[in-house]
A and B are shown apart, each in its own frame.
Chain A
Amino acid sequence: MNLETLRQRMLYQTLLLGGAALLVSALLGLGNHGTAGLIAERNAGDLRDSLSEVLPARHHDNDLLADTVTVPRDDEPVLAYRGRLEGRVNAVAFAMDGVGYGGPIRVLLGVDRTGRVLGVRVLSHSETPGLGDGIERAKSDWVLDFDDKRLGNPPPGDWTVQKDGGVFDQFTGATITPRATVAIVRDGLEFFAAHRARLLHEFPPETPIATLEHPHP
């Protein structure tokens, strides 16, 4: 029987479709197996890069990824990375979420033990390219405005964009994105103030320490 007639058979077609599905599943499995480790490594590298921007090396001498604490908040607990100098927690970094114009915005925030902002970086967003994406450090200096700010400086009423009477710039044609980002940072500082003791609390050395792979030991 040649291929021509075989192709007309229902059984051949069924088997081919099933075989194709099996084959591509196997390919995807192999692909995933071959790349998952590398991708996790690269993502950890990205996280380390972002962390080092919001929590500069002069503020800590430990490995941030190896020293974390989870603090419950609303539905989703917040994972905070602790920076220690000579064993004492000197600063923490954690991610905060909010909603912008195009969807969720995730911001990484570094705060020292007095509640002063060390750095802010946007980890992910889906704002309009060319308008709202100025919140990315790669595209503008805007997020640097947060450096050294704290709750009370500027005063609570000024923690918003200039259009709403605050101190932070908005972008030409985009107010919602910077307004949302300012609100996320303010939320983050309020979260820090509310959980300061827990975030800075020093665990005895034998307490299992959460890692990136096992955030809930």
Chain B
Amino acid sequence: MNRWQQIFRDGLWTNNVVFAQLLALCPLLAVTGTATNGLGMGLATTVVVVLSNLAVSLARRLIPGEVRIPVFVLLIATIVTLVDMTMNAFLHDLHRVLGLFIPLIVTNCAILGRAEAFASRQAPLPALLDGLATGLGFTWALVLLGALREILGAGTLFAHASLLLGDAFGFLELVVIPDYDGFLLLVLPPGGFLVLGFMLAGKRVLEARMGRAPTPDGAGCGGCAMAPATT
């Protein structure tokens, strides 16, 4: 497996922000009441983590270890604010839907985690790809968690997707269980913890079936040091 495949394998599965590192739980649990909200949050986060990885990687030789954390925090907060303002001005309709989520991105410690563990030690191109892989890994985790909570909690899937993606994506909006009364607990925040717990258990079972659980490789090791023991 070459280096690029390794980066994407780590971001999407082995070292997935949600399923392996258990980071970013604040935005995760806050927005995954529906699959559509999960997708919106995931895409906005992907943009920010790509930009922040790139910026940190470009500046990595200038930044001494002693003050790196405040500098990273400054960079990330600035990028989030700039993305927020730019979207509000130029992609106003999308901002009206995603606007709620963008300020929440600064609470996402996974972005700081990637800056610290990967981007501050790597050249710009791998750092950018790692940001993309991490963001996509976060996105699919959010969409899956949102989809499960939405189906079990409200009986629908991708409700209001056309508000986020445009009318062309109206076909995504499905009623999975017609005349469903809803299961309130799963839509409220505790449901996020419950469903996430079942998904983590499911991932363990899957990895056990596939043989030995793969361990995160050296490139991402700062990330695993920050995360709770997961393997």
A residues with a Cβ closer than 8 A to B are 3, 7-8, 12-13, 16-17, 20-21, 24, 27-28, 31-32, 34-35, 38-39, 42, 45-46, 128-131, 138-139, 172-173
Q: Mark B194-218, 1 if CB is under 8 A from A, else 0.
A: 0000000000000000000000000
Pairwise interchain contact B67-A13, C-beta atoms closer than 8 A: yes
Size bin of chain B's contact surface: 35 or more
Pairwise interchain contact A16-B96, C-beta atoms closer than 8 A: no
Q: How far is the CA of A84 from the CA of B163 in the complex (A)?
A: 33
Pairwise interchain contact A16-B67, C-beta atoms closer than 8 A: yes
Pairwise interchain contact A130-B150, C-beta atoms closer than 8 A: yes
- Nearest A residue to B100, CB-CB: A126
Closest CB pairs A-B (n = 5): A35-B89, A38-B89, A7-B64, A24-B78, A42-B92
Pairwise interchain contact B154-A24, C-beta atoms closer than 8 A: no
Kindly provide the distance from the CB of A142 to the nearest chain B CB, expressed in whole angstroms.
15
A-B contact count (CB 8 A): 79
B182 at the interface (CB under 8 A from A): yes
> Known interface pairs A17-B71, A24-B78. Does A8 touch B90 (Cβ–Cβ under 8 Å)?
no
Pairwise interchain contact A17-B67, C-beta atoms closer than 8 A: yes
Pairwise interchain contact A131-B90, C-beta atoms closer than 8 A: no
Q: Which residues of B contact A34 (CB under 8 A)?
A: 89
Pairwise interchain contact A27-B78, C-beta atoms closer than 8 A: yes
- Chain A binding surface, main DSSP class: helix
Pairwise interchain contact B66-A39, C-beta atoms closer than 8 A: no
Most chain B CB neighbours (cut-off 10 Å) among A20, A24, A129:
A129
Pairwise interchain contact B78-A35, C-beta atoms closer than 8 A: no
Q: How far is the CA of A173 from the CA of B186 in the complex (A)?
A: 12
Q: How far is the CA of A210 from the CA of B151 in the complex (A)?
A: 49
Pairwise interchain contact A130-B88, C-beta atoms closer than 8 A: no
